[in-house]
Amino acid sequence: MKNLVLAAAVATALSSVSMGVQAASPNELAQIREQLEALMQRVDKLEQENTELKSENEQLKAMDEKLQANDDYLKGEARGLRKETAQQAVEVAKTKGADWAGKVAFTGDMRYRYEYISDETLSNVSGVGLVPTADRYRDRIRARLTATVKATDNITVGIGMTTAEGNDPRSGNQSLKDVFSKKPFDLDLAYFDWKFASWGNLIGGKMKQPFVKPGQSLFWDNDITPEGLALGFQNGMFFGTAYNYWLIEQSGTENTRTADTMLHGLQLGMRLPVGASTLMLAAHYYDLSAAVGRSPFYNSNNNTTDTAGTAQVLRYDYEVINLSAEFNTLLGELPFSVWADVAENQDPSDENMAWAAGVLFGKASNYRTWELGAGYQKIEKDALFAQLIDSDFAGGFSDNEGWVLRAAYTPVRNWTLNTTYFLNKRNAEVANSLGQVDVDYDRLQVDFNVKF
């Protein structure tokens, strides 16, 4: 290119020279030479710029190819990331589902019961006179379902439902009656359990009984789920529980009785090793506050009452001291336990003692295991707050005494067959309104239990 431009320039210059060489002066020739040199410099400059442009063009082309390659790579990476993200989202969803499922546990049981009751208590029927109580036969069911959730590392929440009959706080049974009527399924548990330290926890809400009961003691009915707050501790061989429960919440004008009826209690105990065996000792105190002079809250269950207008009201407070013991060992390869429970109400000076003792041999829990148990109990009329005592022994009334005999067999795990026979006396010390004392009360229960 440079040579062509130069040749053209020289040809032009020579043509100009040939036409005017005869007349040109030396000055004119010098000017022509200067013009030729300037032209040559311009041609060199243009050639240099052209070379630079070519180089830049090649660089731009290379850069464009590189950018194109990067673009293709990034598109491929984006497609891969989208696919990986989608897979990870599925895995995260699975993980979250598994994590949720791992935090929730469902437990429950269903019991079918055949029951026979023989009660020698008389009734005064108008126009007829004293009439004995007829023997009773009935079939009953109880179903319970509880969800326990690990809400945080140290807080557990429990929500439980149970069948119920007449809002009885001591029973989840439903009798089979009323032409296949629907049966209520009510709230039985709703609590949090905060493990605030390695040695202690705080429970709040409607809860399982947090204190220790010896053996098969019937001073508390097993179906009762108290409501309020409980503070528990466990440190080595020592344990304890303090609780504050609400029985009745009152409201009203200033001239009405508005104190809430509460149940305050404290239990302290220890488990002592005795060779390969264990001895449990516990002291328990509870106080029923703001109850004297009030109508029984569900039923008096034979505690002493006075007449106030047309109502029957409680005569005594219940400031109960309860001492318990349980010895657990092995006879051969089978578990064996002996237990005792003693209580005294500090308010009345008479009919204020309760005691119970029993043995249990074997443990019906795993495949083809069995147990046999026997216990004797005596609860005087005002020894315990009778709305808390077992509802089956003597029909759930205080002023009772007698035996309870048990047998159970587990043919397969989670399925147990139970037989319980109550051989009791009602009004053991104090006559009822018809003057009866030492009234026979027998009760047979045969249970089909399934747990899950």
- Confidence class for position 21, pLDDT limits 50, 70, 90: very low
165, pLDDT greater than 80:
yes
Give me the mean pLDDT over the 417-444 stretch: 97
State pTM to two decimals. 0.79
Query: 120-451: which CATH topology?
Result: Porin (2.40.160)
Give me the mean pLDDT over the 241-247 stretch: 97
Q: Percent of the chain having pLDDT more than 90?
A: 70
> What was the pLDDT predicted at 76?
74
* DSSP label of 215: T
More confident residue, 209 or 294: 209
Dist CA 422 CA 377 (whole Å): 11
More confident residue, 414 or 254: 414
- Choice among 111-120, 123-132, 260-269, 404-413 with the minimum mean pLDDT: 123-132
115, pLDDT greater than 50:
yes
Q: What is the pLDDT of residues 301-322, one digit of tens each?
A: 999 999 998 889 999 999 999 9
> What was the pLDDT predicted at 295?
87
Classify 50 as helix, strand or coil: helix
More confident residue, 295 or 9: 295
> What was the pLDDT predicted at 442?
98
- Confidence class for position 60, pLDDT limits 50, 70, 90: confident
Give me the mean pLDDT over the 262-280 stretch: 97
Query: What does the mean pLDDT of the chain come to?
Result: 90
> What was the pLDDT predicted at 96?
63
Which of 236, 89, 225, 118 shows the shortest CA–CA distance to 161? 225
62, pLDDT greater than 80:
no
Dist CA 302 CA 77 (whole Å): 82
Dist CA 97 CA 91 (whole Å): 10
> What was the pLDDT predicted at 97?
61
Provide the sign of the torsion angle of the four alpha carbons 28, 29, 32, 33, taken in this order.
negative
6, pLDDT greater than 50:
no
Give me the mean pLDDT over the 32-57 stretch: 78
191, pLDDT greater than 90:
yes
Q: Which helix (H) or strand (E) holds 312?
A: strand 311-314
Q: What is the pLDDT of residues 206-220, one digit of tens each?
A: 999 999 999 999 999
> What was the pLDDT predicted at 23?
52
Please report the DSSP string for 140-204 in residue order: EEEEEEEEEEE-SSSEEEEEEEEE-STT-TT---EES-TTT----EEEEEEEEEEEEETTEEEEE
Give me the mean pLDDT over the 23-45 stretch: 74
Dist CA 271 CA 285 (whole Å): 19
The answer to whether residues 103 and 149 touch, using CB atoms and an 8 Å cutoff, is: yes
Classify 7 as helix, strand or coil: helix
> What was the pLDDT predicted at 3?
52
224, pLDDT greater than 70:
yes
- Confidence class for position 2, pLDDT limits 50, 70, 90: very low
More confident residue, 26 or 339: 339
